[in-house]
């Protein structure tokens, strides 16, 4: 046990550390598998050549332009989605709190779509941030009570997501056929045709967010006690909640900007992390690792599906995420009945 701050202690149990280590090893193994399997896969001999600096031009091209960016974005965007979901679930105290359910992911996707339609060039990250910020702002304003009311937040999030989806569909129908096809694939959530520049964007986002999250972690742990007790112990619940929301919005928006609004990774990751480590609270490290693992698994799965080439990874996450959402809703219903 080590202490951070005056009132809180973050306890890293041995089980959690072992689980995190195992998850990291699994992510790296899955990443290696995605590089080796599927179209233009690399062989073990290619890896040896890369490490020894003797790789051919073709091998370097595949690694740097085709397979490398894809697997890097899968890992980092998954981690960003997982962290965003953990932060939202903590500040809303709602097991359904995530960028998907709150309409933030749909808003970010709509922002990117609108940015592509405008006659002047607006970078996708700016469009994603504008869309995500507008979405969460609408949710907060429409509830009339911030993010504290569970039922209002969920209903408002569904409404905002529907509005954002309508905007997105309008943009898709208003664009040329080739651009509409590209947008449609992006809006499902895709890792196809990604580059190192996009991987660099999400990497910079995570690096900048890391110290802020590290600083927020003990404050979020304290907020598990409730606003009144947090305040009595010297914490600032409202300030911490606002800061966490801002970080969560940026993480989700940047992940959407590079990979599209991939469904349910942010929702599933914190729950899966808590199940694996058997801990309560934000579980930020576990959520990030789980998000990365889910994305790499989904990417590996889509590359092994026969007859369909360049299948968007969001189709896999949406299928499993929909089942997981049904499980959560059933669990919450049973709790309400008891």
Summarised one tens digit per residue, pLDDT across range 305-338 is 876 677 889 999 998 888 888 888 788 777 766 6
Query: Which pair of structure tokens corresponds to residue 110?
Result: 């709509």
CATH code for the domain in which residue 159 is found: 1.10.3470.10
In terms of residue numbers, what domain contains 55?
2-337
User: Residue 31's pLDDT is what?
Assistant: 94
50-64, 104-118, 140-154, 198-212, range with greatest mean pLDDT: 198-212
Q: Which of 7-21, 46-60, 66-80, 322-336 has the lowest mean pLDDT?
A: 7-21
Average the pLDDT over each of 26-35, 146-155, 209-218 and give the range with the smallest value. Answer: 146-155
Mean pLDDT is highest, among 29-38, 286-295, 322-331, for: 286-295
Nearest-angstrom CA–CA distance, 174 and 307: 30
Band of residue 145 on the pLDDT scale cut at 50, 70, 90: low
Asked whether residue 146 carries a pLDDT value surpassing 70, the answer given is: no
pLDDT score of 73: 96
Q: How many domains does the chain have?
A: 1
Q: What is the mean pLDDT of residues 188-216?
A: 93
Instruction: Answer with the residue of higher pLDDT: 120 or 298.
Output: 298
- Quote the CA–CA distance of 99 and 117 in Å, as a whole number: 24
Percentage of the chain modeled with pLDDT above 70:
92
231 or 209, higher pLDDT: 209
Mean per-residue pLDDT for 73-100? Answer: 92
Torsion sign over Cα 312, 251, 201, 283: negative
147-182 pLDDT tens trace? 666 678 888 888 999 999 999 999 988 887 777 888
Q: Round to whole Å and give the CA distance between 94 and 130.
A: 25
* Closest CA relative to residue 208, chosen from 142, 254, 166, 241: 254
CA dist., res. 153 & res. 135, Å (int): 12
What pLDDT score was predicted for residue 307? 63
CA distance from start to end of the chain: 36
Mean pLDDT of the residues in the chain: 86
pLDDT tens digits along 235-280: 788 888 889 999 999 999 999 999 999 989 999 999 999 888 887 7
**Euclidean distance between CA atoms 66 and 300, whole angstroms:** 14
Angstrom distances, CA of residue 176 to CA of 121, 171, 182, 193, 287: 17, 10, 10, 19, 39
How sure is the predictor about 230, in pLDDT bands with cuts at 50, 70 and 90?
confident
Higher-confidence residue of 291 and 8: namely 291
Exposure string for 42-60, b = 16+ CB within 10 A, e = fewer: beeebbebeeeeebeeebe
Whole-number pLDDT of residue 147: 66
> What percent of the chain has pLDDT above 90?
43
Q: Where are the alpha helices (DSSP H) in the chain?
A: 14-36, 44-52, 57-61, 68-92, 104-117, 124-143, 150-174, 177-188, 196-223, 227-232, 237-259, 265-277, 284-304, 314-337
Q: Is the pLDDT of residue 55 over 60?
A: yes
Report which listed range, 49-58, 277-286, 318-327, is most confident. 318-327
């Amino acid at each position: 046990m080590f202490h951070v701050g005056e009132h809180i202690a973050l306890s890293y149990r041995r089980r959690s550390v072992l689980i995190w280590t195992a998850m990291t090893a699994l992510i790296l193994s899955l990443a290696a598998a995605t590089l080796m399997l599927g179209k233009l896969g690399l062989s073990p001999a290619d890896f040896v050549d890369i490490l020894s600096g003797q790789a051919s031009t073709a091998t370097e091209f595949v690694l740097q332009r085709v397979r490398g960016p894809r697997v890097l974005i899968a890992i980092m965007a998954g981690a960003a989605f997982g962290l965003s979901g953990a932060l939202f679930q903590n500040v809303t105290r709602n097991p359904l709190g995530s960028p998907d359910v709150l309409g933030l992911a749909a808003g970010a996707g709509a922002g990117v779509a609108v940015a592509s339609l405008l006659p002047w060039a607006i970078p996708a990250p700016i469009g994603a941030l504008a869309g995500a910020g507008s979405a969460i702002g609408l949710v907060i304003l429409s509830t009339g009570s911030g993010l504290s009311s569970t039922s209002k937040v969920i209903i408002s999030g569904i409404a905002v997501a529907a509005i954002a989806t309508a905007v997105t569909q309008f943009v898709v129908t208003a664009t040329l056929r080739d651009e509409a096809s590209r947008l449609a694939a992006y809006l499902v959530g895709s890792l196809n045709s990604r580059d190192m520049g996009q991987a660099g964007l999400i990497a910079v986002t995570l690096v900048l967010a890391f110290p802020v999250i590290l600083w927020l972690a003990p404050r979020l742990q304290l907020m598990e006690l409730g606003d009144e007790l947090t305040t009595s112990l010297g914490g600032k619940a409202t300030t911490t909640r606002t800061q966490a929301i801002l970080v969560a919005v940026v993480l989700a928006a940047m992940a959407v900007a590079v990979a599209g609004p991939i469904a349910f990774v942010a929702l599933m990751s914190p729950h899966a992390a808590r199940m694996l480590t058997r801990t309560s609270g934000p579980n930020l490290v576990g959520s990030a690792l789980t998000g990365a693992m889910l994305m790499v698994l989904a990417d590996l799965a889509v590359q092994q599906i026969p007859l369909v080439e360049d299948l968007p990874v969001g189709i896999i996450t949406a299928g499993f995420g929909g089942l997981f959402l049904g499980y959560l809703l059933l669990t919450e219903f049973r709790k309400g009945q008891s």
